[in-house]
Structures are given as C-alpha cells and as structure tokens.
Chains A and B, each alone.
Chain A
Amino acid sequence: MRPALASILGFALFAAGPAQAADPRLVPDVSSRAIDIQYSFTGEELLLFGAILYPGQRLPDDRADIVVVLKGPVRPIVLREKRRVAGIWVNANSIRLRTSPGFYAIGSSRPIDKLVDERTAAIFELGLDNLSMSPAGFSEARKLARFESGLIDLYRRSGLFYENPGAVEITEGVLYRARIPVPARVPVGTYRAETYLISRGRVLAVASRDVQIRKAGFERFVALAAQRHGFLYGLTAVALSLLLGYGASAIFRRR
C-alpha cells in the first residue's frame, strides 16, 4: 500500500507543478543585486543569467525554453483618459488600479504564445496583457480593456514596460542569459527577477532573486529630506536661492 500511496502522491506533485524532484532545477542570478540611482543615472542594463540543472546531468531530447521577468513594486494608481470637451483636451475619464506594477519587463527565448497556452500565461502573469492590476470598483470590461491597453502603450514607450521575445539566449541547453534595460525613470523599491523553465507548455521550474533599486548618496538624502522634513528642506531651498541670487549680483557689482 505504501508504494501505491507514494506513487499517487508523486503523481499529484508531478501534476501540481515545478517542485518535483525529478524535474530540472534553476540556479538564477542577476548582474547586480542592487542598482543605485546616483547623480548621473541614465538607466542601466540588468543581466539575468543562470543555469538549468537537469537531474542526472542528462539533457532532455526536446529543447526547453526560458522566460525571465523583472517586476517592480506594485502600487495603486489613478489612470486618466483625455477627451475632447468643448474643443479642448481635458481628463474626462479615470479608473483606479490597485496593483499596477511601476516596472515590468519580460524576455523569453521564443514568443510567449508559442510556449504556453493562455491560461498558464495568465496564471503566471507572463506577458504585458496578462498583468493583473486589480481595478477598484465596477467598470465594464470594454472600458477596462481600453484603459489597460492605454497604460501598456504609455509605459512601453517610456521604457517602464518591456517585452522582448528574443531576449533570452540559451547556450548548450544549460546556460541562459538575458539583458533587461532599466530606464532612468524607474520607480525605486524591491524588484523581483523571476526565471521560468518551460517545456511542452508546462512550467517545470521557477526561481527568483530580489533586486533593490534605490536612490543613493546625495540623491537619497535629498529625496528623503523632501519627503520627511519638508520645512527644513524648504528653508534650505530658500536659503540656496537667496544666496545664489544675492551672490551673483554682489560679484557682478564689484567688477
């Protein structure tokens, strides 16, 4: 009876997904665990790389694919839509999204729709169209879809959303690497770099690493001061402007 139970359990685990012993494992890493935003920060390229460990070091016959996702912290946003009202363009419509990621980049070795079916892609939130942003309150599906595609388009053009179906390069079936561009406008916070191993439409393994994106040095000091010590920060700004204004005229007058 025991072996039977074990095999049933084993089958259940197998069906349930990635945590199965006979399945391959992923050993992921990122080129830097922390990105510091400093005075000359104009964006950076993050390298997501790692190895696929197959049980018994044996490569399977059919090739497996890799998907990497770099996802920024989610936050609630209000998304507004401009319309022409009485000749001028004003914000006319809006929706609230409670979990909108400030950054989302996905790279894969082949297009996502060739790797998994729609349901699996939706479960693992693979692809820009599969992000679940939890709209607050009731809104009809068509309006929601219009707003979401508006947001995706906006963020894609500013580099905050990024999709590249050829980003992942797999060497010898075991080593993978992908470059993800991180633009200067990224929000700060804890990012998650996730790697998915996919074969025959199934997610075989998932692994993730955290990446910190933070302001550092002077920039961090200024941003914190502006947030937490508004009064002193304001006084400093005023003092700076008075000093520069007065200083310049004093220098020029002496000439």
Chain B
Amino acid sequence: MDLYLPVANLSVNALVIVLLGGGVGFLSGMFGVGGGFLTTPLLIFYGIPPTVAAASAATQVTGASVSGALAHFERGGVDVRMGAVLIAGGLLGSLIGAGLFELLTAWGQIDTAINILYVALLGSVGGLMAREAWGALRAARAGLPAPARKRRHHPMVANLPLRWRFYRSGLYISPLAPLILGMLVGILTMLLGVGGGFIMVPAMLYLLGMGTQVVVGTSLFQILFVTIATTMVHAMTTGAVDIVLAGLLLLGSVTGAQFGARFAQKVKPEYLRMALAAIVLLVAARMAVGLFIRPDEIYTVQ
C-alpha cells in the first residue's frame, strides 16, 4: 500500500514502514530502549532523507518511551531531581544540536557527520555491552555469581564544584555532571534522532554511579522530555518532522513494544543483552561499510 509522505515528499510502502516500526518496537520493548538508533539508519537505508529520518524518529521515540516512563514513575523508579537536571541539559543540548545541524547542512557534511557519529557511538557502546554480557554469560555458565560492580562515580565527576544531594539515586555530586551528560545526549538526539538511552544508562551507572533501581526509569523520563523538545525544535527550525511517517512508525512500534516486553520475560537477561549488543554492532558495521565503499550517488542536490 503506497502512501505519500507530505514532508519527506515521496511515496513509501506504508506496510513496510509499519513493519519496520513493529520490528524496532519489538526490540525496544524487549531491551527497554527507545530504538531510535535503529529507526534512523533503517529509514535512511529505505531512502528517506536523513534530516526527515532523524526528526521523525525522535517523534517516534517519544511514543515508545511514554508508557515505560509512566510505569517507572508510578513504581517510584524515577529520580525526578536528577531527571530535571538531565532534562535541563538536554534542552540546552537540543538547541546546540540545532545550531550544529544548520552549520553542518550549510557545509554539506551533515550526512557524513551523522554516519561517523553512529559508527563511533554504536561501535563503542556495542563493544562494551558485548564484553560485559560475555563476562556475565561465562560467569553464569561456571555457576558463579555475576561479578559485582563497584558503585562509585568517576573521579572526574567527584572533582566538579558545587554539590547537590540526589536522594533517590543515593548520590551527593555536582549537578554539573548530569547537566553536561544531558547536554551531550541532547545534541545526539537532535542530530541522530536517538533517545540516547543506550548512552545514558551506562553513563548513569558507570560515570555518575547511580543506583540501578532508578537508572532505567530516570533515563526514560529524560528521554521522554528531551525527544519532545527535539521534535519541537525540529518542527520550528528544520521543519523536517513528517507526521505521517512518525504516525506509521508509531503504529508499528507501540504494538511491537508490547509483544517485545512479554517475550523478554521468557528469556534470560544475559542472552538479551548479548543479542542487543550484536544488533548494535551490526548497525554500526553496516554504517561503517557505507563510509568506506563508493556511494551509489556521487552527486547530491541540496
């Protein structure tokens, strides 16, 4: 079934987009991530202009994170104070990201920048996840308890001036650390259309040293608000949010996520993490290949 996308200015097969959203939604429900890091590259592979793909994927991530954020909030799994600082940073980041977006577009380097950022981020995060999941798997096989991680924030964080208490997270650290973290993730949300959970969660655990029980909830809380902000910034600057595209993706992803969440309860978490790491590395590898081989189109019109 062909459907015309009024902002992207092209026809797509609606069923393919819904299924794509469904697949990403299934994975995001299974792993508890927004899935933007999959949506944007897949849309670009399909032929959607990168700007429209990133902007509309951000809108989709909002829908993918809302129910999770609410559920965690009701359970008390959100450190609202920490979340607010992260969101403040995220808002700042999305504005900086908008500036960068405009600059890179004027230079004609936005596509390359998006590609390189994806390869670097997904490659390193995927590698880290794979290593950790591998260690956990081996430990489980040997019948040992998983190696306990020391919960301490990074020395760089400890050196920052000004300290606040974050009760829910069990932290007494400078608010500048989450502010900067939120800002960096906000820039990525604007440029790549990712929620940033796959960076936020490890950073909260290993850089800030937050308690595990509030990490996922707070990350979802932050993603929800920052993707809302990014959608707004995109709508008012690049004008690249395609509401029809986002709607189709959402139709698929919100249903897919429910099935994914159910499926996740039947599988061991170590295997889940290993699978997620494999997918992340696969996307990174595909994008890396795209950088080095001769592109289909040497000439592009802007």
Contacts and interface: CB of A to CB of B under 8 A. Distances in A.
A151 B299 contact: yes
Given A91-B109, A150-B299, A222-B244, A249 B4 contact: no
B7 A226 contact: yes
Contact of A246 (B70, B243, B244): B70
A101 to B, nearest CB: 12
A184 interface: yes
B39 interface: no
Contact of B3 (A40, A79, A240, A244): A40
**Interface SS majority for chain B:** helix
Given A81-B299, A222-B6, A223-B6, A241 B257 contact: no
Given A41-B11, A234-B231, A246-B66, A87 B236 contact: no
A147 interface: yes
Contacts of A77: 301-302
Q: Which of A78, A80, A237 gathers the greatest number of chain B CB atoms within 10 Å?
A: A237
Contact of B235 (A185, A234, A252): A234
Contacts of A150: 298-299
A252 B302 CA distance: 44
Nearest to B294: A89
Nearest to A38: B4
Interface in B22-37: none
B66 A91 contact: no
Given A94-B108, A241-B60, A241-B250, A41 B234 contact: no
A230 B239 contact: yes
Given A88-B291, A90-B109, A234-B232, A245 B241 contact: no
B265 interface: no
Interface string A180-195: 0000110100000000
Interface residues of A, number: 56
B187 to A, nearest CB: 19
Nearest to B232: A234
B147 interface: no
Given A222-B244, A233-B243, A245 B63 contact: yes
B302 A88 contact: no
Contacts of B300: 79-80, 82, 91, 154
Most B Cβ at <10 Å: residue of A87, A89, A154, A218: A89
A232 to B, nearest CB: 9
A112 interface: no
Given A41-B11, A237-B235, A237-B241, A244 B251 contact: yes
B254 A238 contact: no
B108 A248 contact: no
Contacts of B60: 241
Interface string B203-236: 0000000000000000000000000100110111
Contacts of B169: none
A21 interface: no
A219 interface: yes
Contact of B62 (A39, A94, A185, A242): A242
A234 B112 contact: no
16 contacts: A42-B11, A79-B300, A89-B294, A154-B299, A226-B243, A240-B63, A240-B246, A241-B250, A244-B63, A244-B254, A245-B64, A249-B66, A249-B70, A249-B258, A250-B67, A252-B258
Interface of B: 1-4, 6-7, 9-11, 59-60, 62-67, 70-71, 108-109, 111-112, 116, 228, 231-232, 234-237, 239, 241-244, 246-247, 250-251, 254-255, 257-258, 291-295, 297-302
